[in-house]
Structure 1
Amino acid sequence: MPTQTHAAGGARRGRLKASPAKAETLKKLRNSVGQLSTTTTRELERALPWYGRLSADERSALGLVAQNGIAAFVTWYERPSLPSWVLSDVFGNAPTELTRSISLQKALQLIRIVVEVVEDQVPNLASEDDQPALREAVLRYSREVAFAAADVYARAAETRGSWDTRLEALIVDAILRGENTDALRSRIAALGWKAQDNFAVMVGSSPLEPSPSYVGDMRRTAIRYAKDALVGIQGDRLILILGGVEEDETAYTRLSELFAPGPVVFGPRAESLPEVSSSAQAAFAGLSAARAWPNAPRPVAADDLLPERVAAGDDAARRALVQKIYRPLLAASNGLVETLSAYLELGHSLEATARELFVHANTVRYRLRRVCDVTGWDPLLPREAFVLQTALVVGRLAAQPSTRDRTVRQGT
């Protein structure tokens, strides 16, 4: 045991005791820290154009990193076995400021300048015999700092990515709830959102076990067809909010391929951020009612599911049928409601409708074309005729009863 203790003590003394040449080099390094820092700052301003365009605070933070790097090199040169100096001594509290001010590429340029300044001073800092060892130490040091810088940026990116994901989820939830506050606008601006109009919402099923890159792939694909995109997963549902959409049909078709199997519904176009909530509500209502139309296209517009949504108890769909179809038909007069009603009740027969109304078949055709012009729905197409028939039903139920009807019900 005494022999082992003596050997260990000798080893420690061997590590702590430096050669005379190295001791002299260390002394010169300590005395030259200030001069090296000043030279480095001047070289940064001369060799890196972007450095001079930074704000005073940013230059100060980066200059401090450079000075810490030079001071830490002295400590490391004396005891190179210490692994913890890189992050604590060189970067200190600077990682957040560093990653916000400059890119990783520029950070490595800064490190290169620091290393070059120290290398240029090697002849003045070490004797001829000790210069190779000092140069090798500088190279090893630069490698360690470069790896440390990459680690700082990787950690910052990971933290920023996690924060952005949480922020995106909060924004999607706020939009779905109809929140329209300064806080929402501030949050969405923090994500770099630039679109001011042409908003769209798509909803569908999310994969049971999405891959780690699923949301990122969805967002990258969406950016091809829109200026901005938000992606949210709530349980088994996937929500995609687009801003600045240009080609609706192409975008919806392509993006629907990224949803899990099942219906995919997109809400009506929203022209402002406050309207996005209504579009999302329509899309979700359509998704809930989509199973009532098994042969619906994928994706399908929420407005194409108005009859199914009404049957499912969606008041917004009922109001839409009344306001966009029934009332415009009443306002157009010219017998459009009567002609459409007869046409639908008589099995979509032009001749039977003409006989019922005592008009020519061409008159029926003309009126049905007018129905299409007024409402945007063509009664000659079975699916659109179903929408029109539903509008007539809910419109009549929503109409105020006449005085005569009220009198009859009261028994007077």
Structure 2
Amino acid sequence: MVTAGAGTPTGTGGSTPAGTAPVPAEFLAGFPETLAEVSRSCRALTRAERESRRALGEQAADAGIGLRELTTVHLAAARRAWGSLPGVAGARDTAELRSVGAAVLGAIEAGVGALAEGHARAQRHAVRRAEAARRAFVDDLLYGRSDPGRIAEQAEGFGLRLAERHVVAVAAHPPGEPYDDAHPLLRRIERELAGRFGDHDALIAPKDGRLVCVAPTGQRQVFDAFVKLACAPDGTRVAVSRPHSGAVGVVRSYEEALSALDLAERLALDGRVLNAADLLVFPVLMRDRAAMTDLVQSVLGPLATARGGAEPLLATISAYAAAGYVNAEAARRLDLSVRALSYRLERIAALTGFDPDDPLQRYTLETAAMGARLLGWPPP
């Protein structure tokens, strides 16, 4: 059995070119003998022989041996064995030598191809296992399903040190276009951040159709870059949490970001980037749901009797507040004339008894309008 030339260290598959790692002889098992047999019979590799190479390719990948090193040592073994192959040494003429050479080269091609196929198959399996482990970790991290100590230990493998303070951003695409592991935006963000910042401690992963970024507060530039890139597609909205510490803090930050997205949807808020710190008033307003329901019904209930229902007048209250109580700007937002806006404001005052132009009364109207959005009033 030809496994190594003279001077080859024991336990390696042959002298390897500079810059490549030595390959153990076990990964060459049977290859020189197969070439010798092929040179005698000029046959193709059998299915069993190809499968043997595939299996060795998988084992090499699992052992951390690169495909370059693996193929190099096989080609080197074939080159060393060439002159001593029975069919080559015993060839009677050029035609027979060509026939033997074609068979041997075909066997080398098929054998190396099977090695590469097995190596690639093992790598695909490893990638799938790594992705499954990553998804399980992201689930445990964001939902707090595991022991904090265990989560912190796992987090270090993904570049996170949970003893630090972290912020969480969640990017949500319009319905029907969820983010997943294969989404081009995720790949683009990963490439951009790696190119601009090299190794960084931010964790970026898809979760429930959204993109999530968990980053330490000390790497704010990485976090800001994620937010900017995630906002690039039309319709994408990003919610940013407040910073919190530890594994429990990451869960809290994630929930804050999700809550901000939900509030923005229910309140029809403008803006592509939502800061949870700017929306803290809304959970406070909803803490006493019964009181908020009473406020909405008492203040805005009469609007339901208006022609066209309460919705147009409720939209007018919200737009008037968002415009800073400037008639022209509010009319533009509602696509109305200033005269039509003034008529609506008069109807609101007449029906509710609260004047939108009175500072105290308009605050009551605005608060009630926010509560109505949160409560889903008026019902469809």
- The aligned counterpart of 1:239 is 212
* 2:187 corresponds to 1:216: yes
Name the structure 2 match of 1:159.
125
Q: Distance in 2 between matches of 1:219 and 1:293?
A: 32
What is the number of residues matched between the two proteins? 274
User: Against the structure 1 CA distance between its residues 134 and 118, is the aligned structure 2 distance closer, same or farther, given a 3 Å change threshold?
Assistant: farther
Residue 194 of structure 1, aligned match among 149, 159, 174: 159
Kindly tell me: are residues 305 and 266 of structure 1, through their superposed partners in 2, closer, same or farther at Cα, counting changes over 3 Å? same
Q: 2:259 aligns with which of 264, 268, 285?
A: 285
CA pair 142-200 structure 1, distance change in 2 beyond 3 A: farther
1:15-34 equivalence runs, <5 A:
34=1
The 5-angstrom pairing of residues 339-358 of structure 1 reads: none
SS at structure 1 position matched to 2:15: helix
Structure 1, unpaired ranges of 5+: 1-33, 315-346, 348-385, 391-412
Q: Displacement of 1:250 after TM fit?
A: 3.2
**Distance across 1 between alignment mates of 2:165 and 2:48:** 52
Does the residue aligned with 1:268 lie in a helix, a strand or coil?
A: coil
CA distance in structure 1 between the aligned counterparts of 2:55 and 2:33, rounded to whole angstroms: 13
Q: What's 1:89 paired with?
A: 52
In structure 1, the residue corresponding to 2:106 is in which secondary structure? helix
In 2, Cα distance between the equivalents of 1:174 and 1:258? 29
Identity score, percent: 16
Q: Give the distance between the partners of 1:217 and 1:86, measured in 2 at CA.
A: 42
Q: 1:64 maps to what in 2?
A: 26
Matched residue, 1:357: none
For residue 193 of structure 1, report the CA deviation from its aligned partner. Answer: 1.9
* Unaligned residue ranges in structure 2 (runs of 5+): 289-323, 325-362, 368-380
Higher share of residues assigned helix = 1
Asked if the contact 1:45–1:51 (Cα under 8 Å) also holds between the matched residues in 2, the reply is: no
CA deviation vs aligned residue, 1:318-377 (integer Å, no higher than 9, x gap): xxxxxxxxxxxxxxxxxxxxxxxxxxxxx9xxxxxxxxxxxxxxxxxxxxxxxxxxxxxx
In structure 2, what residue type is equivalent to 1:117? R
The residue number in structure 2 matching 1:227 is 201
Supply the distance in 2 between the matched residues of 1:38 and 1:89 (Cα, whole angstroms).
20
Q: Are the counterparts in 1 of residues 227 and 238 from structure 2 also a CA contact under 8 Å? A: no
Equivalent-residue separation in structure 2 for 1:143 and 1:177 (angstroms): 51
- The alpha carbon displacement at 1:198 in A equals 5.8
Cα distance in structure 2, aligned partners of 1:249 and 1:239: 11
Q: Report the CA distance between 1:120 and its aligned residue.
A: 4.1
**Contact 1:205/1:264 (CA < 8 Å) preserved in 2?**
yes
Q: Does 1:146 find its partner at 2:112?
A: yes
Alignment of 1:244-263 (within 5 A): 245-247=219-221, 250-257=224-231, 261-263=235-237
Pair 195,188 (structure 1): closer, same or farther in 2 beyond 3 Å = closer
Structure 1: how far apart are the matches of 2:131 and 2:232? 19
Distance between the aligned counterparts of 2:284 and 2:230, measured in 1? Answer: 25
- Partner-residue secondary structure (3-state), 1:231: strand
Provide the C-alpha distance between the structure 2 equivalents of 1:120 and 1:173, rounded to a whole number of angstroms: 59
Q: Residue in 2 aligned with 1:355?
A: none
User: In structure 2, what is the Cα distance between the partners aligned to 1:262 and 1:180?
Assistant: 33
Shift of 1:138: 2.7
Deviates more, 1:146-155 or 1:236-245: 236-245
Residue 300 in 1 paired to residue 263 in 2? Answer: no
Name the CA shift for 1:231/1:68 in 2 (closer, same or farther; >3 Å). same
Secondary structure at 1:37 match in 2: coil
Which of 192, 203, 219 is residue 170 of structure 2 equivalent to?
Answer: 203
Equivalent of residue 142 in structure 2, options 176, 181, 189 = 176
- Cα offset, 1:289, TM superposition: 1.5
Give the number of the structure whose alpha-carbon radius of gyration is greater. 1
Contact 2:189/2:226 (8 A) holds in 1: no
Pick one of 17, 28, 46 that aligns with 2:15.
46
Instruction: Point out which structure has higher relative CO (alpha carbons under 8 A, 6+ apart).
Output: 2
The 3 A distance-change label for structure 1 pair 156 and 230 is farther
Q: Is the 8 A contact 1:202 1:283 kept in 2?
A: yes
User: Residue 31 of structure 2 aligns to which amino acid in structure 1?
Assistant: G
TM-score, normalization by structure 2: 0.59
Rounded to whole Å, the distance in 1 between the matches of 2:243 and 2:225 is 13
**TM-score if structure 1 supplies the norm length?**
0.55
Name the counterpart of 1:119.
82
Deviates more, 1:169-178 or 1:220-229: 220-229
How far did residue 307 of structure 1 move? 1.3
